[in-house]
Chains A and B, each alone.
Chain A
Amino acid sequence: MANTTDILSATAPRRVVLGVQETSDFDAPDLPSEPMPLNMGPSHPAMHGTVRMVLEVEGEKITSADVQIGYLHRCFEKEAECATYTQIFPYTDRLNYVSPMLNNVGYAIAVEKLLGIEKQVPERAQFIRVIVGEIARISDHLTCLGAGAMELGAFTPFLYNVKFREWLWELLEEVSGARLTHSYVRVGGVSGDLPDGWMDRLRDVLERGRGVLSEVDKLLTRNRIFRDRMDGIGIISKEDVGAWGLSGPVARSAGVAYDVRKDHPYLVYDRFDFDVPIGSVGDNFDRFAVRVEEMHQSMRIIEQAMDMIPAGPIIINDPRIALPPKTETYNSIEAMIGHFKLIMDGIHVPAGEVYSFTEGGCGELGFYIVSDGTGRPWKCRVRPPSFANTAIMTKLLPGLFIADVVPTFGMINMIGGECDR
């Protein structure tokens, strides 16, 4: 296995070939350069999502950038206000659609906090949430890095990554029945237990996945073309992280070791031994390397969780929150009524407000829920990490070249579903 940590800790100065350390060197004074508006997107083959950028360029250099989002707006909050707490799970799947499990988990934890049953969720369910969540995180990073490399012309790593992602999604499909939009987690637990032999298959997939990662590592990490377009471009400083509310790999690449799993452990994350990789420069390559290392750390977490997972129930035993088992629903009137009430009225959540945050694929995924005591939330707000991460593009782009937009935007990893909701 090739080691990515030595690249992360490398202190050697970065060589900038096509980068922008000194943009004035590239100015050609004899050419007339007048500002020209340039429209990129909303649908652009090299664009990492549906977004429109109105750039003002002088020659190849960007002088100002207006990033316009909203093309994937699906009224998540408005729909959530009219749905029961359980009906919102499918909507959360479609937020960050490459790691739906993490959204499911984040939302479930928020509702559980409002209900005050956070500590009563069965331990097995918490371990299952960690395992499926970390699988989702790996698939999120795989997509980001694969697509990022593809946009720079490296198609093979994309295919390799998607192959690995497909193995992971097959496993999640086995668990939840759906390949992409799982809706697997429920308030108070998860909807079904892990199938027989699933963990052995997961171990096997992780083993093969490490091989894929090392292949991709060989193709990209020391690739001259790739490095030339990544190194020293789109540098984010430590100060920017707080001021712009950045989180996740983008914040960590800038050297801020903020990871919700470490700083404010939820579920059973405090029992695992894992590292939080941070970058030293804050450029595109750091964001790439941090994500690669995070995938290895996620695999470590999954393996520890598989060794530690206890037997037991997978959902809380409370008829006001969890549906009764099907055998009871069909054979007793109490369970039948309970089932009916839960489906029609929803889970009655006491009035209150909560801001609950977890580590999503792109960063701090927050749910701010205002409950008025009925079965439907008064307000269900998502704090989308991509939204804040994309906002800094307006600051990063001026001064870069047009060609730098693609890798910078790819490594910021804007997920339209989450950014536009």
Chain B
Amino acid sequence: MAQIVLDRLKEHFKAGEILETGSQHGNEWVRVQRDSWQAVAQFLRDDAVTAMDMFTDLTAVDRFVREPRFDVVLHLYSLTRKHRVRLYAGVPEHDCIVDTLCAVWPGANWFEREAYDLYGVRFRGHPDLRRILMYPEFVGHPLRKDYPKEKRQPLVRRLPGQVD
């Protein structure tokens, strides 16, 4: 359905930015190089053929033991052309950072905060990278596969005068 998007990307990015493309269960996906994450997203939004004007979802996947360990996963939709695409960017554990998309779609703000909160992936240039679902004193990133489900953390009381 969205093969046209994949073709357009391969046609435009020829310097190795697009690592792999594929299609499964009716979802077209693209694996892009981490350094060109923002450039590809910007292109997808602005190009007249792809016209990905709607930011749908951003999350991360912990592919524990595989390298790079994390994938940042972005889902996009085009309200005008009615097609979708999924983007992956591999992020290694020792350098857990990728460019923010807040400048492309402001809606990415909270989704990136959530990915940071739950997976510990940081977003370069994010205006307000705080925890969003967990409380500020929480230690660790609970959706990482090495975070045990049974682990309990006491709610740390806030110190007087401390602001968040």
Contacts and interface: CB of A to CB of B under 8 A. Distances in A.
Interface of A: 68-70, 73, 75, 77-79, 81-82, 113-114, 116, 241-246, 256, 258, 263-264, 352-355, 364, 366, 368, 370, 378-379, 381, 383, 387-388, 390-392, 395, 420-421
Chain B CB count within 10 A is highest, among A69, A364, A391, for A391
A241 B132 contact: no
B25 interface: yes
Interface stretch (B3-11, B13-21, B89-97, B103-111): B103-111
A44 B53 CA distance: 36
A258 B79 contact: yes
A240 B31 CA distance: 27
B35 interface: no
B47 to A, nearest CB: 14
Nearest to B73: A368
A114 B135 CA distance: 34
B158 interface: no
Interface of B: 24-27, 29, 53-57, 59, 61-62, 73, 75, 79, 82, 84, 86, 105-107, 109-111, 114, 118, 131-135, 142-143, 149
B57 A244 contact: no
28 contacts: A69-B132, A70-B135, A73-B133, A73-B134, A77-B118, A78-B142, A79-B149, A113-B25, A241-B79, A243-B53, A243-B107, A245-B54, A245-B55, A245-B105, A245-B111, A246-B107, A263-B82, A264-B82, A355-B27, A355-B86, A364-B56, A366-B57, A379-B62, A381-B57, A387-B111, A388-B107, A391-B107, A395-B106
Contacts of B29: 353
Contacts of B131: 70
Nearest to B142: A78
A352 B29 CA distance: 12
B142 A366 contact: no
Contacts of B107: 243-246, 388, 391-392
A106 to B, nearest CB: 14
